[in-house]
Amino acid sequence: MKNPTSHNDVTSCMKTIKLNNGLKIPQLGLGVWQSGNGQEAIDAIHWALAAGYRHIDTASIYKNEEAVGEAIRTADVPREDIWLTTKIWNDDIRAGRTTEALEEALARLGTDYVDLLLLHWPVDGYMAAWMALEQALAAGKVRAIGLSNFMEEHLTDIIEQGEILPAVNQIEFHPYLVQADAISYCDMHNIAITAWSPLMQGNFLKEPLFAEIGAAYGKTPAQVVLRWCLQNDIIIIPKSTNQGRIKENSEIFDFELSEDHMIAIDELEKGEHFGPDPNDFDF
Ligand code: NAD
């Protein structure tokens, strides 16, 4: 996969990917789906920032934007050094209230801008919602706009009818599900890919190959899976609320999988979703 240029910044944990709008997004972020809207999310974010993460991925539907905002406000790291992503939920897209939903999200987060705003799923009304995102960008309420779970037919609408190229498409991606068509379409348009569920929602532990490969590098199965994503130029947002695992998931910039190991992991692909399929969902 060719994709936006990678850069090594000051510390490797802050390695960034240059987006098509020129902004650099940290390639590693912390996902906070299912992290409690209180001390659980706050602790996870503080541990992540201490471990070097500079990117947090939330969504209005995760119902924890208040805790995410509080964690960022009370962190030792300045707001402008943290990449914050949130997403507009499907009901708001359908109801044509993306602009209002963004204002509500900003109020919950207690910030006056987010770094990246995504449409969560390609539900009816996504074209009008995209226009609202373009207006939010012009108004300085977001630094970048993008999509999530958009497959080629929906991406084509956005690219043909919109004025601004989406910076990112966030899709399910891991060794069992590569979604090659969506990825090559995004590559062609220089749209970066963020992997959701990069750790297969924990199911990577059932695959013996990751431990076998990890043994050759002194790395854990989780680190092998995440490293494979990185070497594919994919942005990753693994979720954990466990301090040790949060740190473990960040220690992936000091080794490189061989080509043979990359290929062995590529061969695991079997089109298996652990989350909903963007071509067949009902929410
Ligand atoms: P994930 O693949 O990140 O897996 C998370 C689970 O893996 C954890 O609950 C934990 O049980 C386990 N885990 C994490 N680190 C581990 C380690 N080092 N060792 C052993 N087990 C470990 O799953 P996810 O939460 O579904 O996805 C990550 C993030 O992606 C979410 O938190 C969310 O921010 C985002 N997401 C987005 C969408 C979307 O539609 N855009 C959908 C799902 C998730």
Is residue 95 scored above 50 in pLDDT? Answer: yes
CA of 51 from ligand 1 middle (Å) equals 18
Order of strands across the sheet that contains 114-119: 30-31, 55-57, 83-88, 114-119, 142-148, 168-172, 192-196, 235-236
Is residue 7 scored above 70 in pLDDT? Answer: no
> Considering only CA atoms, which residue is closest to atom 36 of ligand 1?
196
- Residue 45 C-beta-side C-alpha neighbours within 13 Å: 32
CA of 236 from ligand 1 middle (Å) equals 10
Residue 185 bears catalytic tag = no
DSSP 198: T
14 or 263: whose pLDDT is higher? 263
Mean pLDDT in residue range 12-35 = 94
8 or 111: whose pLDDT is higher? 111
User: Residue 222 — very low, low, confident or very high, per pLDDT cuts 50/70/90?
Assistant: very high
**Quick one: pLDDT at residue 12?**
58
The active-site residue, picked from 62, 126, 176, 185, is 62
Instruction: Report the atom number in ligand 1 closest to the C-alpha of 249.
Output: 18
CA of 31 from ligand 1 middle (Å) equals 6
Mean pLDDT in residue range 100-127 = 98
Mean pLDDT of the chain: 95
- Are 60 and 104 in contact by the 8 Å Cβ rule? The answer is yes
> Considering only CA atoms, which residue is closest to atom 27 of ligand 1?
197
CA of 105 from ligand 1 middle (Å) equals 22
Rounded Cα gap, residues 256 and 39, in angstroms: 35
pLDDT, tens only, 33-87 = 999 999 999 999 999 999 999 999 999 999 999 999 999 999 999 999 999 999 9
Mean pLDDT in residue range 146-155 = 97
Which of 116, 196, 241, 279 is the pocket-test mutation for ligand 1 (most atoms within 8 Å of CB)? Answer: 196
DSSP 61: G
- Are 48 and 56 in contact by the 8 Å Cβ rule? The answer is yes
Residue type, 245: R
CA of 169 from ligand 1 middle (Å) equals 17
Rounded Cα gap, residues 263 and 151, in angstroms: 25
pLDDT, tens only, 160-178 = 999 999 999 999 999 999 9
- Are 163 and 138 in contact by the 8 Å Cβ rule? The answer is no
Which of 173, 240, 248 is the pocket-test mutation for ligand 1 (most atoms within 8 Å of CB)? Answer: 240
Q: Which domains can be identified in the chain, with CATH numbers?
A: 20-199+235-241 (3.20.20.100)
Mean pLDDT in residue range 208-220 = 98
User: Residue 14 — very low, low, confident or very high, per pLDDT cuts 50/70/90?
Assistant: confident
Instruction: Report the atom number in ligand 1 closest to the C-alpha of 32.
Output: 32
Rounded Cα gap, residues 165 and 58, in angstroms: 22
Share of the chain above pLDDT 70, in %: 95
User: Residue 97 — very low, low, confident or very high, per pLDDT cuts 50/70/90?
Assistant: very high
* Protein residues whose CB sits closer than 6 Å to any atom of ligand 1: 31-33, 57, 120, 148-149, 170, 196-202, 222, 237-240, 245, 248-249, 275
